[in-house]
Amino acid sequence: MMIRLVAGTALMLFTALAGHAQSFPAKPVRLIVPFPAGGGLDITARAFGQKLAEYWGQTVVIENRPGASGMIGAEAVARAPKDGYILLVCSPAEIALNPALYAKMNYDPFKDLAPISLAATYPNMIVVHSSVPVKTVRELIALSKKTSGGLPFGSSGTGSTQHLAGEWLKFNAGINYLHVPYKGAAPAVTDLVGGQIPTAILGLAPIIPHVKSGRIRGLAVTAAKRSAASPETPTLHEAGINFESTQWFGFLAPAGTPADVIAKVQADVKRGATDAGVKERLISLGGDPISNSPDEFAAFIKAENAKYSKVIRDGGIKAE
């Protein structure tokens, strides 16, 4: 009798989980983007959100909740109901970098958020306003050394991969940089295109149109190889600087979200990453659509945290 009871209970649990997976989503899903509209993270979230809405037959709402280097939006998801209807589309800052920058956070990204999948990676690019008289990274280094107080460079925020790439270059490649943090890539691009800042390190997505128009000039990408979106721009390696830095985006849920819901979202993010329309959109902006398993994404986040924590320690970088 006991064996039958246990077997029956297991069958009921399996049936309940299967039914839950089949029913998700039964209402609109919110994707929280913790940076302003117009940046690479926002563009990627909207490309995937459109496909997820098609797959699910439900409205997918993109909600931008910027501030505190992505932590406002991330905390909102960490505290959200554990049902999969509020998800985070993350960047490295609020997940892998801020733990090394801030002595205290209002959430623990390793305990309060559950990895689902990577969505895309983008190389960062060192760019200057068209009026700046340099065409190579070496010329930029020379100009910076002549600039009293340091050459201002913009990034999408304190603790972003762009900020940390700039700090690495400052301490290891001799660039006399002065960091100017923005609340996301979009406002940084606005000031760069307008000439309010002379140079920046940013992800490719929001700046490629301006590079192609000639408003700004790309000096180098920070990836291992040149980008198909800007093949004329060399890598840092080609300038003799041995450093790589990519911007990556992915999906996370509140910790405790049912495994079947996470598996459902992961499968559909993977499907979206192979969609011809998504690939064409992101590749044109320098992106590489990608997906992996929740376990693989968790390991990737930890590796990125270890990599940039070293940059932060070596540079003595503090949250501003």
3-state secondary structure of 117: strand
Residue that terminates a domain, selected from 204, 239, 274: 239
Residue that terminates a domain, selected from 175, 209, 239: 239
The model's pLDDT over 288-301, given as tens digits with 9 standing for 90+, comes to 899 999 999 999 99
Q: Does 141 map to a domain? A: yes
pLDDT above 50 for 15: no
pLDDT attached to residue 185 = 86
Q: What is the reported pTM?
A: 0.80
pLDDT above 90 for 120: yes
35 backbone dihedrals φ, ψ, rounded to 5°: -140, 165
Q: Are residues 186 and 211 in the same domain?
A: yes
Q: Are residues 111 and 32 in the same domain?
A: yes
Structural domain that includes position 194: 123-239
| Mean of pLDDT over the chain | 91
Separation of alpha carbons 82 and 76, rounded Å: 12
Name the residue among 118, 153, 156, 104 with its Cα closest to residue 132.
153
Cβ atoms of 280 and 288 closer than 8 Å: no
The model's pLDDT over 93-102, given as tens digits with 9 standing for 90+, comes to 899 999 999 9
pLDDT attached to residue 206 = 87
Q: Does 14 map to a domain? A: no
